[in-house]
Chain A
Amino acid sequence: QVQLQQWGAGLKKPSETLSLTCAVYGGTFTNHYWGWIRQSPGRGLEWIGEVNDSGDTNYNPSLKSRVTILVKKSTNQLSLKVISLTDADTAVYYCARRWPLVKPSSCFDTWGQGTPVTVSA
């Protein structure tokens, strides 16, 4: 059974860069998309973006200019970088696997444990 374990620094200052990593255990990168979702009281659950095993990415347009998601197949890891942080980026960040179903459907069937991130001066 696939498990996702994520880590990264959770306390940042405005204008800094957030870096999170998610490791995939018990499965392969192929045939799925791997991405990030965040959750905050004000914005609810918000899909950030994703990467597939070929390194192709897809981002939420609302965040695209500040986000980079990369995959490192040799270590079964994906990473998230968000630049120019503001208070509005305070949230719990989750990595998640998106399982493609019959097109166009898909679902997030496996989630990491979540990393709380606070952006504060």
Chain B
Amino acid sequence: DIQMTQSPSSLSASVGDRVTITCRASRSVSNSVNWYQQKPGKAPHLVIFSASSLHSGVPSRFSGSGFGTDFTLAISGLQPEDFATYYCQQSYTSPFTFGPGTKMDVK
């Protein structure tokens, strides 16, 4: 299985900040990485697909980059509704695997 790791595991930020979350795959997954946002008690919600494509309805302050094994999710100009847990996921090969998550809270 391809293992996905994320850093940091948690971070504190303020409204208006720019934050970045990194994700690393245990082997190359091309650009087959997606990012999800999850709020407590809710299902994950797709934010970025194929490493850098913004999902429909997601604000443009979200962006993704990366290829191969290293990927980044960036959020510029944090809004109150952005505080959540973020997960990366590889879709390169089955079994599809997720990172452990990065929990972002208010500083």
Contact = CB atoms under 8 A, between A and B. Distances in A.
Contacts of A108: 34, 36, 44, 46, 89
B72 interface: no
What is the predominant secondary structure among interface residues of chain B facing chain A? loop
Contacts of A44: 87, 98-101
A101 B94 contact: no
Contacts, number: 66
Interface residues of B, number: 26
The 4 closest A-B pairs by CB, nearest first: A111-B43, A45-B98, A107-B49, A60-B95
Interface of B: 30-32, 34, 36, 42-46, 49-50, 55, 87, 89, 91-101
Given A45-B101, A60-B94, 6 more contacts: A44-B98, A45-B44, A62-B95, A105-B32, A105-B92, A108-B44
